[in-house]
Structure formats: structure tokens, C-alpha cells
Amino acid sequence: MKNIALASRVKVSADGHGVVSHAGMGMLRELADRTGLSAQVTAALADTYRGPWVYAPGDVFADLAAAVADGADCIDAVGQLCGDREHVFGAKASTTTMWRLIDQRIDAAHLPGCAQRGLGRGAAWAAGAAPPRGGCTSTSTPPW
């Protein structure tokens, strides 16, 4: 079977070659794809496009979310965090495309389809990431 991942697999080594900062961002991005979250957002927003897209809306959304998790505080920071690391993270949409997704495509009618985390969480739990039986050990309410 041929691997169709956007970017090559991450190899961790201490040899000093191919050093990339913010590598955890790439893993978050891949997690969004593997749990189906990117596909879910793409399906929720597909009717907002008149023709084919260059970057699937779910991929752009996942890029934005991963960048925020990595400390980005504006859309321009996504390009700054990923721009020189395309060989790890894959190609990124332009700042204009990201703005269009947030400002024009995700409206009140489409937001619920983008905000449902249950499908991705279920896929992650089925793959072995479920919390231990008996729930959280914390006394606070879990985020899920």
C-alpha cells in the first residue's frame, strides 16, 4: 500500500541533521488528519465552494488550529511557523485563503459542523488514546 500522507514521516534523531523547530506542530496536524477531524471540517464546509479548492478547508482549519496550539496569535504567524518547514509540514495555504476560511466560510450555519469533536475523539479513543477506565484522576471537569 502506498503512503499518501501530505508530509513524510517524522524521524527523531540526535545527529543534528534536518533539525526542525516546532516539530510537535506537525504531529498535531497529522493527528487532525488521522482522527478524521480535517475531513469532517472539509465535509461541513464543502457547500461554501463553487468549484474545486486547492487546499481542502479542513486542512486549512487544522493548520490554523495547530499553529494556535504552538503559540501563533495571528493568521500571519501560521506562515511564519510553517513557511520554512514545508518539507515537514507540507504546503500551506496563503494568508488570504486562511482569512477567507475564517471570515467568509465559517458562518453561523456551518460552525456546528466544524465544532463537533466527537468523531475525532472517538477515532482517537478507538486507536488506544482513551482515558483510563474510571475517568479522569483530576477533580476538575475534563475538556471533552
In a domain, 8, yes or no: no
pLDDT of 56: 92
pLDDT of 3: 42
Summarize pLDDT for 106-131 with one digit per residue, the tens: 888 988 888 776 777 777 788 887 77
In a domain, 13, yes or no: no
Summarize pLDDT for 70-106 with one digit per residue, the tens: 888 888 777 666 555 666 666 778 888 888 888 889 8
Question: CA distances (Å), 114 to each of 47, 65, 99, 117, 130, in order?
Answer: 13, 12, 16, 8, 22
In a domain, 132, yes or no: no
Does this model's pTM top 0.75? no
The boundaries of the domain holding residue 53 are: 23-121
In a domain, 81, yes or no: yes
In a domain, 44, yes or no: yes
